[in-house]
Amino acid sequence: MVRINPLPEELSDRPFTVYESRALGVTPKRLRARDVSDGGRLIHLPGGREFALAERARVLAAATPGAWVSHESAAILTRLGLPPWLGGGGTVHLSKPHELPRVRRNGVTGHRVRVLPGEVTEIGGIPVSSPSRTWLDLTHQLPLPYVIAMGDQLIRMPRPGLEGRTEPYADKEGLRLLIRQHPNMKGVEKGRLALEDMRVGADSFPETFLRLAMLDARLPEPELQLRLDPDDPWSPSADLGYRRFRIAVQYDGAPHLTREQQSRDNRRDEAFTSAGWSYFKANAHDLAEGFRGLIVRLKRAKLRSVSANAGSLRAHIRQQHGP
């Protein structure tokens, strides 16, 4: 029985290039053993498991000089989010400068683009389109609401404890400059339209879609990250709502299913209802129906608030001036 020497630990559980194996003294004969498979030109795969996008992207970029991860793959790596019909395939999107030939290899969708300094960054050593450039690259294939929602993710304030950053990926002025620098790109006009409807404060795509649905239904522009007490930075806050109508709305997605998050949610819910607000919670079912039922309830609550305020004003006038 032929004994196979183990691969170096650095290569045993991830895809690797032939250059990496040579640097660690792995012979070409060892790479032909049964526990290593051919991953395409200059790439080898240890057997035994499937590899995540980041692992495949890293080795494909390393084996393709001048290329970087872009488009749908970059949106996944930067956690910008994608529509459910995108990003599910096994392909990795790689871009090269416009003057170089397009990447052509199995498992890769190649692009040739005009790129400016600062539009390619790194994530864990992987060259990746910057979040702003990724947004612009995808504008031509996304419906406008998704372009707005992804733009909201670019300009929102991050949560440092969860994301390891303290500044937004971009601001609207920076995105306007990016658009001006690429006037002939597909989808650039859609990006320009999206900028007008982007707002700081939406922490997820559904929150953006809810805001847009409210505006489409002729409701007023809602306040985002609405604090119960605007003067208290520790006051409970809802995703959006109307202070003057005392209406608050919270979208509960998957992160709200943990026990710790549910406890915080319960305290927030009680704070708003105890203060006499009309308080609504939306979920994936509401999203699937375009928030139609929720919109009806919000309009009723707004009408009640307006009627109650008018009644209070009439009572005050009678008290001051008599019948």
Same domain for 274 and 251: yes
Alpha-carbon dihedral sign for residues 235, 238, 240, 246: negative
Written as six digits, the tokens of 181 are: 């620098």
How many angstroms from the chain centroid is the CA of residue 20? Answer: 33
Same domain for 118 and 168: yes
Kindly state whether residue 63 falls inside one of the protein's structural domains.
yes
The number of folded domains in the chain is: 3
187 lies in which domain range? 54-198
Kindly state whether residue 36 falls inside one of the protein's structural domains.
yes
Same domain for 239 and 168: no
Same domain for 287 and 152: no
Written as six digits, the tokens of 265 are: 């949610």
Closest CA to 141 of 87, 211, 61, 217: 87
Kindly state whether residue 2 falls inside one of the protein's structural domains.
no
CATH of the domain at 228: 3.40.960.10
pLDDT score at 139: 97
Task: Say how many C-beta atoms besides its own lie within 10 A of residue 163's C-beta.
Answer: 9
Kindly state whether residue 42 falls inside one of the protein's structural domains.
yes
Same domain for 46 and 61: no
Same domain for 302 and 235: yes
Same domain for 241 and 142: no
How many angstroms from the chain centroid is the CA of residue 306? Answer: 36
User: How would you list the strands of the sheet with 237-242, edge to edge?
Assistant: 223-227, 237-242, 247-251, 278-282
Written as six digits, the tokens of 275 are: 């203060």
How large is the greatest C-alpha to C-alpha distance in the chain, in angstroms?
107
Query: E strand or H helix at 248, and its extent?
Result: strand 247-251
pLDDT score at 291: 98
pLDDT score at 322: 55
pTM of the model: 0.85
Kindly state whether residue 291 falls inside one of the protein's structural domains.
yes
Kindly state whether residue 261 falls inside one of the protein's structural domains.
yes
Kindly state whether residue 3 falls inside one of the protein's structural domains.
no
Same domain for 95 and 46: no
The rounded distance, in Å, linking the Cα atoms of 21 and 26 is 5
The DSSP output letter for 161 is: H
- Taking only the tens place, the pLDDT of each residue in 182-220 is 999 999 999 999 999 999 999 999 999 999 999 999 999
Same domain for 273 and 227: yes
| 221 burial type by CB count under 10 A (0-12 exposed, 13-18 middle, 19+ buried) | exposed
Same domain for 232 and 157: no
| Torsion, Cα of 267, 203, 57, 143 (10° steps) | 140
Task: Say how many C-beta atoms besides its own lie within 10 A of residue 127's C-beta.
Answer: 21
Q: CA geometry: angle at 292 spanning 288 and 293, to 5°? A: 100
Phi, psi at residue 116, to the nearest 5°?
A: -110, 160
Same domain for 141 and 266: no
Which residues in the chain land under pLDDT 50?
1, 313
Q: Which residues pair with 279 in a beta bridge?
A: 248
- Taking only the tens place, the pLDDT of each residue in 132-174 is 999 999 999 999 999 999 999 999 999 888 888 899 999 999 9
Kindly state whether residue 4 falls inside one of the protein's structural domains.
no
Output the CA–CA distances (angstroms, integers) from residue 235 to 241, 246, 257, in the order listed. 15, 15, 22
Same domain for 236 and 132: no
